[in-house]
Amino acid sequence: MKILNIKTNNRLSWFPEGRFARLVGLSLGLSLLAAPAVSGQCLYEATFIQGPMCTNGSPATFGPSDLDEQGNAAGGSSCFLASHATVWTGSGLAIPLPDSNESRTLALTDPDHVVGTDFQAAQGFDVAAYWEFGVLQILGALPGQLTSKAHGINLSQQIVGISSNSTTGDNGTFLWENGDFFVLSGFPIGATAIANDINDDSQIVGEMGVSLITSNAFLWENGIVTDLGKIPGGTSANAVAISSIGHVVGAGRIPMEGSIFGVPHAFFWDGDTMIDLGVLPGQVESSALDLNDADQIVGSSFLSGEGRFAVLWQDGQIYDLNELNVTDLGGVVLRRAVAINNAGQILVSVNGAGILLTPIGSAPGDIDNNCFVNVSDLLLLLGEWGKTGSFADINEDGNVNVTDLLALLGSWG
């Protein structure tokens, strides 16, 4: 089981009378505890997202990139190697957006406000693009530069990204607003900076540094840059997403024997402190790609030979989303969770398609909300035995009794 918390794999056995009595006595001490805090979601249903139909009659592949608050998704769809910007609006196939030649969407606030890149064949470069109500607008690049990418957009249609000139090596980080480019400046270290995301308070996050393998994460607000530093014990940090409450996630490299540049680990910054989120048991790499206002964080964990697994961090634990999905996916493995909204929906990348995970709650009997029904839940229930109005009243009949015990045992494990 690829989880950070402890899960017993033993089946419940009935205790001899004396041992059971001791267990009940132990559980009574737990009745002095307050009801466990409500945690995040534990179980999910999956919906496949496929690209539009290709000319040969088969669906295009779909590479998801972002999710809005209503569960609409953005990404890129490919037919015969050509990628095109697409959006998915909750059902059916993804819908292609107009483009010049090839394109890809990277972020959205809703299906009518989407940003990404569009390939300009005459120049041979990708440039930042903005689709507003289905109409393509080429944002271009900063003066003296050739190529650009739009990485993020907020509800005020402020857009952030990177602009560069591969010939001269010149690059700049930009904020686009009402038709005008603004160069972000004031970075205290290095000549390179990349803006990755912007929230509705116009807070911008990204990475800065002389070298991106030794970069620092930053927070830019009203012309003031806050250096978030590097992941604890590591050599770099790249902030990729910021929530509306100003919390930040990303990844940074930490030293590992046998690796010249170290390995990436996901991090979370709570407005004061950056912490290493760790990896699934037995794995070595991780990355955090998005978070919501409940500090639910999504990304992936990786081990060579096993591959990448989509993960969720919540309440100090890391979960393999493959373990929390209840939908039969026919052997499809959830590889990379790219976005999460405030409804707890998670957008996941799999081979050739996207998947939307929608939370459906916890299993009956998961009293402590740790996503598993085990001994800790049994002890809590026994500690509340006979009480009315208790958090351990699983069937909500007003009393904690044998029917609740049977419901818990029915969901064991």
Q: What is the DSSP string of 240-287?
A: EEE-TTS-EEEEEEE--TT-SS-EEEEEEE-SS-EEE---STT--EEE
How many other C-beta atoms are found inside a 10 Å radius of the C-beta of residue 37? 8
**Using one digit for the tens of pLDDT, what is the confidence trace for 364-384?**
888 877 777 889 899 999 999
pTM comes to 0.84
Bridge partners (DSSP) listed for residue 112: none
Proportion of the chain above pLDDT 90, given as a percent: 72
Cα 111 from Cα 66, distance rounded (Å) = 11
Q: How far is CA 165 from the centre of its chain?
A: 31
Asked whether residue 311 carries a pLDDT value surpassing 70, the answer given is: yes
Highest mean pLDDT among 97-101, 131-135, 163-167, 191-195: 131-135
Asked whether residue 390 carries a pLDDT value surpassing 70, the answer given is: yes
Q: Give the pLDDT confidence score for residue 41 in this predicted structure.
A: 67
Higher-scoring residue by pLDDT: 31, 171: 171
Asked whether residue 237 carries a pLDDT value surpassing 80, the answer given is: yes
Instruction: Compute the mean pLDDT over every residue in the chain, rounded to the nearest whole number.
Output: 88
Across 19-122, the runs of DSSP E, i.e. the strands, are: 43-49, 61-67, 73-79, 82-88, 95-96, 103-110, 113-120
Higher-scoring residue by pLDDT: 21, 262: 262
Least confident of 46-50, 189-193, 198-202: 189-193
Type of residue at 343: A
**Using one digit for the tens of pLDDT, what is the confidence trace for 72-126?**
999 999 998 789 999 999 999 999 999 988 999 999 999 999 999 999 988 889 9
On the 0-12 / 13-18 / 19+ scale of CB atoms within 10 A, 85 is buried
Q: How far is CA 67 from CA 2, 89, 118, 230, 239, in A?
A: 26, 10, 20, 28, 18
Q: Give the pLDDT confidence score for residue 252 in this predicted structure.
A: 97
Look at residues 93, 13, 37 and name the one whose alpha carbon lies nearest to residue 370: 37
**Using one digit for the tens of pLDDT, what is the confidence trace for 395-408?**
999 999 999 999 99
Asked whether residue 343 carries a pLDDT value surpassing 60, the answer given is: yes
Look at residues 115, 102, 112, 235 and name the one whose alpha carbon lies nearest to residue 174: 115
Asked whether residue 44 carries a pLDDT value surpassing 50, the answer given is: yes
Tokens read off for 192 = 């390179």
User: Which domains are present in the chain?
Assistant: 43-361 (2.130.10.150), 368-413 (1.10.1330.10)
Type of residue at 70: Q
On the 0-12 / 13-18 / 19+ scale of CB atoms within 10 A, 144 is exposed
